[in-house]
Every structure is written in C-alpha cells, then in structure tokens.
C-alpha cells in the first residue's frame, strides 16, 4: 500500500517554517531584545542618579550637623566671639575651610572640591542675591535694623548655605541647602 503524502486539497503537507515567517519572528525577537537592553540601560542610569542624590543628601546632612555642633560649642565657650569663631572655622581660609570633599561623587572640575560653605554676614543681602529663600534681608545682630554690611563680630544668628556640585552623565548638577546657626 502506497501512502499518500498529499494533504487536504492535494497539496503536499508543509513541514517547518517559510523564510518570511522566520524573518518576521527574528524581527520581533530583535525588537524585544533592543527594548530590554534600552530599559536596562535607562534603569542603570536612574540608579546612578538616585545614588548620587542620596550621597549629596547625606553629605549635606552631615556637614550641616557638624556646623550646628561647632556653633553650639563656640557659643558655649564664648558667646561674644561666637560668630567670629564660626567664620574662622568654616570661612574662607578657616581651619576647616569653606569647601569640603564628598566621597563617591565626580568632582565638578579638575582639583575642585564638590562642596562649598557660605556663611552670610551681610544683613542687607537679599534672597535673590543668595539664590534661595532664607528670609533675607534680616537683622542678624539684634540691633533693630537690617542695615549692617558686616556683622562678623556681633551676630547672634547667621545664615549658612551649603552647595554641592558634581559631574554626572547628564552634565554638571548642583544642590543647595540653606539653614541658620545661632549663638545660643
């Protein structure tokens, strides 16, 4: 007995895939692989950005706490020279200095530390000039006016801004945080 290999309608039964079916299947597979690779790269970038932000927040918190602690110590030892001691510690040329390193961040430029500290001693400085809302101008030495341009030796409250800049895949990024320190 001879077996007929013809299927319905007298056509030979198909076995396997045609070239067009293979091409379509390969195209769909390639699109899925490119999409998965793109998503993976984007997620990696977002994880890095998130890590950088957490590093910046922790560095700001740590430096703010150090400045607050030093402010308390300086005012406890001698309240009359508190503001001058704070500037001698965290001002330009101070013992700690007005810049600080932030581990795990790319420097904003060659030899430039990412963190900077600015202690404002000018009562007439405005929020616009400082680049943030701190309620300035403000009477920093308690003499009843906000007209003194240097309250280094007489201040009882001082605005401080912390600024961190770093280089990321998106370019130069910056975060600024402001707060007050007081001579207790």
Task: Note the pLDDT of residue 160.
Answer: 97
Task: Note the pLDDT of residue 4.
Answer: 53
Task: Note the pLDDT of residue 149.
Answer: 95
Task: Note the pLDDT of residue 107.
Answer: 86
Q: What is the pLDDT of residues 54-85, one digit of tens each?
A: 999 999 999 999 999 999 999 888 888 899 99
**Cβ distance 102 to 62 under 8 Å?**
no
Mean pLDDT by 10 residues, the chain (184 residues): 55 77 95 95 91 95 96 88 92 92 88 93 95 94 94 93 92 94 86
Residues sharing a CB contact under 8 Å with residue 173, sequence separation 6 or more, in sequence order: 52, 165, 166, 167
Task: Note the pLDDT of residue 13.
Answer: 61
Distance CA 64, CA 172 (A): 23
Task: Note the pLDDT of residue 12.
Answer: 62
Buried b (16+ CB within 10 A) or exposed e, 13-40: eeeeeeeeeeeeeeeeeeeeeeeeeeee
User: Positive or negative, the Cα torsion across 184, 89, 56, 162?
Assistant: positive
Task: Note the pLDDT of residue 8.
Answer: 58
Among 130, 138, 132, 178, smallest CA distance to 157 is for 138
Q: Where are the alpha helices (DSSP H) in 17-96?
A: 19-77, 82-90
Q: What is the pLDDT of residues 13-28, one digit of tens each?
A: 667 889 999 999 999 9
Task: Note the pLDDT of residue 114.
Answer: 94
User: Can you say whether residue 144 is alpha, beta or left, with left for phi > 0 and alpha for psi between -120 and 50 degrees?
Assistant: left
pTM: 0.78
């Amino acid at each position: 007995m001879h077996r007929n290999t013809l299927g319905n309608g007298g056509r030979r039964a198909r076995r396997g895939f045609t070239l067009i079916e293979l091409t379509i299947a390969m195209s769909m597979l390639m699109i899925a692989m490119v999409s998965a690779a793109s998503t993976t790269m984007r997620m990696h970038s977002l994880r890095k950005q998130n890590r950088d932000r957490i590093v910046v927040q922790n560095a700001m918190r740590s430096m703010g706490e150090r400045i607050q602690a030093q402010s308390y110590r300086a005012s406890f030892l001698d309240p009359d020279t508190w503001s001058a001691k704070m500037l001698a510690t965290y001002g330009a040329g101070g013992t700690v200095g007005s810049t600080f390193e932030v581990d795990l961040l790319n420097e904003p430029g060659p030899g430039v530390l990412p963190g900077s500290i600015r202690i404002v001693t000018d009562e007439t400085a405005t929020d616009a000039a400082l680049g943030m809302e701190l309620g300035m101008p403000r009477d920093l030495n308690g003499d009843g006016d906000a007209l003194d341009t240097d309250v280094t030796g007489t201040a009882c409250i001082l605005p401080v801004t912390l600024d961190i800049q770093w280089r990321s895949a998106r370019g130069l990024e910056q975060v600024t945080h402001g707060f007050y320190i007081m001579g207790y």
